[in-house]
Structure 1
């Protein structure tokens, strides 16, 4: 199989098109399985609820219209777990395929630079590239399950404790946010091992395989022969650290006299740090979000929208896009026509792609919020219209960024609202990556340049 495409009935599919087929097929099968009577503890799920749940699991989002732990049977939970696993693994695999595909379309020198900065060793075949991804995922999820078993087994017993540990380890690493507890992880808000394990899994799943590979290659290299980390890796690490730590501090101080008033300082720090990490597309919560100050919810909207990093299990606009946006802004304010960061210049084509994807995402999100409000606001009482705006805006951003955090709007969605959220989850998971493929694949044509004329700005 060529990294540049996939064969279907003798015709070549681009990786972006194959990604869409991959997700649609998995969602369709998942919907049929979840609609079976065996998937529920009570009445079978309606087709729309089964579709919503399957899409949320396959797109590793975590928004739910039925409680996973109490409403779904063991069979239904295993269907959800399988969708989460193939959804998270699939996006990492296809992201690496995009990377290989991009490498094949640049110059010989460009491929050499890619090999030196990220691959560190020649890749003989696609299998040699994808095999380490699968091994990495299984090892991390296995270690996470073992650590979580130490947390859950004393409370739930051996069989249920191990099952809960495995389920939540996969859900956390894939940044899915599905939990078997009705209150997510609120019962473990102050548990150090639970907090550290979940944050480790979420972070590793959100960094991206190529970043982890780059870090491991540097660690394994001899002291005198250590390679410099790639610009991509450095950007991901710096932006992730700033967003996580900065978000945690802001949440802590904003909520110190509010939702954290009755908590100890240690518990407050755990909760603030966890919410900062989980807002980056994981979807778990250790405190009821409805208790948060509006300013805190606004901060979480920003963290959700930025999301994780390219090639990871997380969604959102991505950390590197944020870095390019701010680097471009600073460069232009300084009068430089080039975008530079960490003593490196970002190619203008990549700058244009990043800004185009951000604009496209914001336009899509704004349009979706408009239609969601249009179909849902009439169902609210007149005195709840203001709260409804925040409620459904939060829901839409959470769906698009594949986060899964909610202020309670999911249970209030009508069929039209559910369909809008389903589309947002799907596009948020595969849309931007597919746009990137389309931009890469389009034929280069000599652009027309017309006469210049000034307009007033600002």
Structure 2
């Protein structure tokens, strides 16, 4: 009997599907909810938690019991840690299939991973996760204890800390974090956890090593790799740009009743969270359409490669911007600092962006077809919701909880594709291909 071989992509998909189905089953049990929910809502919630998205069809704080909330938290943690682990495994697998040229370039970026055993790497992932989440929980507890009993404050603190670092956006408050919009400690703690979760394990490890070397005064030139420097620069640009646009567009609208420092804090937080996390301190449905458009762009970009964040990733968007810049200047090579990017990297970036956009447009079309007469301002609402699901962000204009069973299933599929799609594309696009000995004549066609 022929042995059935399961590919790495299939293993990842099976693992996620198993966790989602297990979670949905647990959420259907009587002790998980106050009055019971439909299976489609349990499946949607489980998918959203495992894919660390944060979109909900039922109120997490009032519908689920303490046990149910802990099940959701466990799914978030397993989904988050699993994604980081799968990313690491995927990079290693991809490295094994690369040509000598690509393997050399890959090891220059991820040299520390190739020099250490897998167990050591996984231990570091768990260690960084525990340190960041524990620190966040302690800081949040100091604020929540002012409103709640110690046990309840601890639950809220731990839940929000894990949800923030895993970029999930789930909250045990009915109004998410709107009640803490002017609490600097809560907002900055959650924002910093989101940023760290969205940078990626490799970048976090390099930063930790950089700090350690600096303390020991053993600094070397270019201590951070090109990849890490690129990720940090793009992250700063994305946060600053989003903050600027949000502040300018909403200064005299949504933020008109806030003090100046509160406006700055809100603009910063929404810029951070709308790229991947899904927490909100303002009513998303009441924002200006121009603001929502900027948020859609940020949700589409997402976080950094190898992180818990979704989207096409900051580096993909950065490479495409460098390509456009080089074309304007008439340069043949795409330069990043004192290095030229490999054409294969550029091809992958363009392919990933086009496939992601095509999928979002198709899913939006299906949503509009299913709910053509049900949604107010239907196109923007559907487009926003689908992009949020694909980018595993979790922000909503209030549409998701009004969807039919078919609509909820569609959003669930979008969340899963959004979570696994980029990883699948990386493996697929870096797989070994046969050298074609036949070269065809080149022909020009008119474009533009």
TM-score normalized with structure 1 length: 0.93
Identify the residue that residue 199 of structure 1 maps to in structure 2.
191
The reply to whether residue 27 of structure 1 matches residue 20 of structure 2 is: yes
Gaps of 5+ in 1: 1-8
Structure 1 position 227, deviation (Å): 5.2
Please state if 1:39 is matched with 2:32.
yes
Aligned residues of 2:113 and 2:121 also touching (Cα < 8 A): no
* 264, 272, 285: which one aligns with 1:290: 285
Partner Cα distance (1:224, 1:130) in 2 = 26
Distance (whole Å) between structure 2 residues aligned to residue 433 and residue 115 of structure 1: 19
TM-aligned CA distance change 1:224 to 1:199, over 3 Å: same
**Aligned pairs for 1:97-176 within 5 A:** 97-106=89-98, 114-120=106-112, 123-176=115-168
**Counterpart in the other structure of 1:321:** 316
* 3-state SS, counterpart of residue 180 of structure 1: coil
Shift of the alpha carbon at 1:329? 1.4
Task: Identify if the C-alpha distance between structure 1 residues 111 and 357 changes in structure 2 by more than 3 Å, giving closer, same or farther.
Answer: closer
Matches within 5 A, 1:239-250: 239-250=234-245
CA RMSD of aligned residues (A): 1.8
- 8 Å Cα contact 1:60-1:87 kept in structure 2: yes
Q: Quick one: which of 201, 226, 234 aligns to 2:220? A: 226
- 1:59 and 1:442 map into 2 onto residues whose CA distance is 29
Task: Name the residue aligned to 1:399.
Answer: 389
Shift of 1:14: 3.6
Give the deviation of 1:112 after TM superposition. 5.8
User: Size of the alignment, in residue pairs?
Assistant: 444
Measure, in 2, the Cα distance between the counterparts of 1:110 and 1:439: 13
CA drift at 1:240: 0.7
Query: How far did 1:46 drift?
Result: 1.0
SS in 1 for 2:340: strand
Distance across 1 between alignment mates of 2:406 and 2:163: 27
Return 5+ residue gaps in structure 2 as ranges: none
Mean Cα deviation higher: 436-445 or 180-189: 436-445
Find out whether 1:86 has 2:97 as its counterpart: no
Shift of 1:447: 7.0
* More displaced stretch, 119-128 vs 70-79: 119-128
- Matches for 1:210-359 after TM superposition, within 5 Å: 210-221=202-213, 222-226=216-220, 228=222, 229-359=224-354
Once residues 318 and 108 of structure 2 are traced to their aligned partners in structure 1, the CA distance between those partners, rounded to angstroms, is 22
What is the distance in 1 between the residues matched to 2:314 and 2:409? 28
Counterpart secondary structure, 2:430: helix
Q: Distance in 1 between matches of 2:442 and 2:109?
A: 40
Shift of 1:401: 0.4
Matched, 1:17 2:7: no
Deviations 1:335-386 (A, max 9, x none): 2222211121111111111111111111111100000011012234xxx4xx
After TM superposition, the score normalised by the length of structure 2 is 0.95
> Structure 1 CA distance, aligned partners of 2:429 and 2:104?
22
DSSP-derived class of the 1:223 partner = coil
In 1, Cα distance between equivalents of 2:113 and 2:81 = 23
Mapped partners of 1:107, 1:296: distance in 2: 44
Q: Provide the rounded CA distance (Å) in 1 between the counterparts of 2:420 and 2:93.
A: 17
Name the CA distance, whole Å, in 2 between partners of 1:166 and 1:302.
30
Give the CA deviation at 1:104: 3.1
| Residues 36 and 45, structure 1, Cα contact 8 Å, conserved in 2 | no
Rounded to whole Å, the distance in 2 between the matches of 1:444 and 1:191 is 58
